C-alpha cells in the first residue's frame, strides 16, 4: 500500500486568524470565535479530502501546541513558561510535573471535532510520544526520567484505546526529541531500550495502526535500533536525514512515512523530482518486497500559510499517485 497524510497541526485559515485576533481585542464574543473555528475545521477537512489524502485529521486547530492539551488536562501537571519549539520560531508551554499523573477524561478525543470528519474515510489522530513529552517537561515529582516515561506511556495507552474505540484507524505518536540533536551527541543504547519499552506499554492491546513520527533530526542516528520499536510505521524527516545512511538498512516488514515535502519552506517542490527520490529510497530500504509506504510532510504544516499548505497537500497526493503508477 502507498498512501499519504499530513503529520500534525495545520495552519489556521486567514478568517480564523482574523477572528481570533478580534476576540483577543474583545471585538467578537466566544460564540463567534467558536463558529469561526468550526468553519475553519470544516475547511481544512475538505481540503484533505479534496487532495485525496488516505487518512484525515480535523487539522488540530484547537491545539495551541502538541503538548498543551496534556499539560492543561493531566492531573499532576501545571502549565509552565513559554519555551522555544526546537529550532523553530514558535513556542510551547512547558509542562511542570508536580505530582502523580492522573487522567480524568479523554483528553485528545475532547479536543477533536469528530462530528465533522468524513464517515467514508479513515481517521487519523496525533499524540505527543513519551520521550518528547518527558524531554520537554520539567520533572519535579518522579524519581527519574525513566519513571516519568513509563507513567506517561500508561496515560498514552488509555488515550490511544479511547481513540481506537471511537473509530480512529491511525495513531501518530510525534517524537521530534528522539532525533533532534544539534550537538551531534549519540543517543545512548539504554535510552533507546527505555523508549522501546515505553512504546510497548503505550501500544499494548491497541487496535489501530501506529506510527512513530520523527522530525527535526537525522533518523539514521537511531538505526538499526528503531527497526525493533513496536510500531507499524516509522516516520522520517527526509530533509534532516542522511539518505545514504538510510539506504544502508532494510526495513523488511516495517512501514515508513516519508517526510518528502518540506513543511518549513514555502518553496513549492517539483513533483517529478520528489517521486524520483522516493522511488530510489523505497527500492533501497525494501530489497525484497515493499511494505506500507506513506508520503507526508517532514513535520507539521503549521509553519506555512494556509494557502501554501493546501498546495503542499496536493503535491503529497500527486507524488503518491505517481509512485503507485511507477511501482506497480
Task: Give the contacts of 119 (CB within 8 A, at least 6 positions apart).
Answer: none
Choose among 202, 196, 131, 214: nearest CA to 164.
202
pLDDT band of residue 273 (cuts 50, 70, 90) is very high
pLDDT at 184: 87
Alpha helices in the chain (DSSP H): 14-24, 30-51, 68-73, 107-110, 130-135, 145-166, 189-203, 243-246, 271-285, 306-327
pTM for the full predicted model: 0.97
Strand, coil or helix: 28: coil
Domain limits, the chain: 2-327
DSSP state of 158: H
In the structure grid, which three cell numbers stand for residue 285, read together?
A: 530500504
pLDDT at 107: 98
The string of pLDDT tens digits covering residues 151-189 is: 999 999 999 999 999 999 999 999 999 999 988 888 999
pLDDT band of residue 328 (cuts 50, 70, 90) is low
CATH 1.10.150.110 for domain 2-327: no
Amino acid at each position: 500500500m502507498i498512501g499519504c497524510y499530513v503529520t500534525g497541526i495545520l495552519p489556521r485559515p486567514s478568517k480564523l486568524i482574523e477572528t481570533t485576533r478580534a476576540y483577543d481585542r474583545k471585538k467578537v464574543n466566544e460564540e463567534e470565535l467558536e463558529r469561526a473555528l468550526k468553519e475553519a475545521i470544516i475547511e481544512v477537512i475538505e481540503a484533505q479530502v479534496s487532495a485525496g489524502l488516505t487518512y484525515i485529521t480535523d487539522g488540530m486547530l484547537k491545539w495551541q501546541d502538541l503538548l498543551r492539551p496534556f499539560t492543561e488536562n493531566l492531573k499532576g501537571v501545571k502549565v509552565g513558561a513559554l519555551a522555544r519549539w526546537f529550532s523553530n520560531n514558535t513556542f510551547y508551554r512547558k509542562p511542570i510535573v508536580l505530582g502523580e499523573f492522573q487522567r480524568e477524561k479523554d483528553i485528545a478525543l475532547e479536543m477533536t471535532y469528530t462530528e465533522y470528519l468524513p464517515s467514508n474515510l479513515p481517521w487519523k489522530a496525533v499524540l505527543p510520544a513519551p520521550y518528547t513529552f518527558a524531554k520537554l517537561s520539567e520533572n519535579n515529582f518522579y524519581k527519574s526520567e525513566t519513571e516519568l516515561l513509563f507513567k506517561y506511556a500508561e496515560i498514552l495507552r488509555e488515550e490511544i484505546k479511547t481513540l481506537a474505540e471511537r473509530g480512529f484507524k491511525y495513531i501518530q505518536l510525534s517524537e521530534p526529541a528522539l532525533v533532534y540533536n544539534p550537538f551531534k551527541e549519540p543517543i545512548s543504547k539504554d535510552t533507546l531500550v527505555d523508549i522501546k519499552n515505553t512504546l510497548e506499554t503505550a501500544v499494548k492491546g491497541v487496535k489501530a495502526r501506529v506510527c512513530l513520527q520523527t522530525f527535526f533530526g537525522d533518523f539514521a542516528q537511531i538505526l538499526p535500533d528503531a527497526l525493533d520499536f513496536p510500531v507499524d510505521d516509522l516516520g522520517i524527516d527526509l530533509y534532516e536525514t542522511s539518505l545514504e545512511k538510510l539506504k544502508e538498512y532494510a526495513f523488511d516488514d516495517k512501514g515508513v512515512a516519508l517526510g518528502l515535502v518540506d513543511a518549513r519552506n514555502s518553496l513549492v517542490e517539483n513533483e517529478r523530482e520528489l517521486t524520483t527520490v522516493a522511488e530510489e529510497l523505497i527500492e533501497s530500504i525494501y530489497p525484497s518486497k515493499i511494505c506500507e509506504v506513506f508520503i507526508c510532510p517532514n513535520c507539521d504544516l503549521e509553519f506555512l500559510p494556509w494557502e501554501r499548505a493546501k498546495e503542499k497537500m496536493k503535491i503529497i497526493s500527486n507524488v503518491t499517485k505517481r509512485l503507485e503508477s511507477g511501482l506497480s
